[in-house]
Amino acid sequence: MAGRLAVIGAGLMGSGIAQVAAQAGWQVTLRDLDDAATSRGLDAIRTSLGKFAAKGVIGAEEVETTLARISPTTELEAAADADIVVEAVFERLEVKQEVFRELDRICAPGAVLATNTSAIPITQIAAVTQRPESVVGTHFFSPVPMMKLCELVRGYKTSDETLATARAFAEGIGKTVVVVNRDIAGFVTTRLITALVMEAVRLVESGVISAEDLDTACRLGFGHAMGPLATTDLTGVDVLLHATRNIYTETADEKFFPPELLQRMVAAGDLGRKTGRGFYTY
């Protein structure tokens, strides 16, 4: 299965989704607000493909054929002929709803409208469209070219046909799929990691254990590839804070209330790897 894909948002997630889809033969339109953003996205894809080529995972010619399948644009109307659209913009409900209002107006009947959200209920995003049955969650994991999982999430009105198309797309670009049948805030993976991270931060905040030792305990005791605090630095401390606030707002469950330390780190700009400092210094 390969066709026409539009990816809305050329950041870390959007560029990664565009890359793996183009490698699998999809013609990809990569859209962001300005040329600088799409250029950064294309540069990230070029760098990622270059690393795979340097390791001998792909040939040099595949780098060029993959890049040739990706068309950058600043026009949302370029999504008009897409079979599938994957939105990967900022993790705020009102921002995503505005994109989906426009996609509903622009996209062809029968197009699958997917959102890469990690925590926002699909039903709330779909509700602003006239085709909620065509809206589905495709939660990819970062970095997309490396991570094998895709969490498919049903909204209240997502049709079986939409889910099946999204599954075929995700599996066709090399992902293993799990299906979340109800779009509770945080779904499954974000809910689990957020609960773990909030408790980890509280333990560090109260002086029970250092960040390093907590991560070591999770790696060696639970077999985690990375500890929860190193994972937070990789994902973005601000991203985790937004996610846990979304879940807390929806559930009023105290275990998802962000600890003061997390809020202060974000206020101070210690957002993890992207700023050079989070729970660790980079």
pLDDT tens per residue, range 109-161: 999 999 999 888 999 999 999 999 999 999 999 899 999 999 999 999 999 99
- On the question of a common fold for 4-180 and 189-275, the answer reads no
- By the 10 Å C-beta count (0-12 exposed, 13-18 middle, 19+ buried), 261 is classed as middle
Q: Report the alpha-carbon distance of residue 40 to residue 15 in Å, rounded.
A: 9
Give the 3-state secondary structure of residue 31: strand
**In the CATH hierarchy, which fold is given to the domain comprising 189-275?**
N-(1-d-carboxylethyl)-l-norvaline Dehydrogenase; domain 2 (1.10.1040)
Q: What is the pLDDT of residue 246?
A: 86
Q: What is the pLDDT of residue 119?
A: 83
CA proximity to 139, closest of 125, 129, 153, 157: 153
- What are the residues whose beta carbons fall under 8 Å from the beta carbon of 254, sequence distance 6 or more? none
pLDDT tens per residue, range 170-193: 999 999 999 999 999 899 999 999
For the domain made up of 4-180, the CATH class stated in words is alpha beta
Give the 3-state secondary structure of residue 115: strand
Phi-psi region of 186 (alpha: psi -120 to 50; beta: other; left: phi over 0): left
Q: Where are the domains of the chain?
A: 4-180, 189-275
189-205 vs 237-251: helix axis angle to the nearest 10?
A: 110
Answer whether residue 1 shows pLDDT above 80.
no
CA proximity to 51, closest of 42, 63, 64, 35: 63
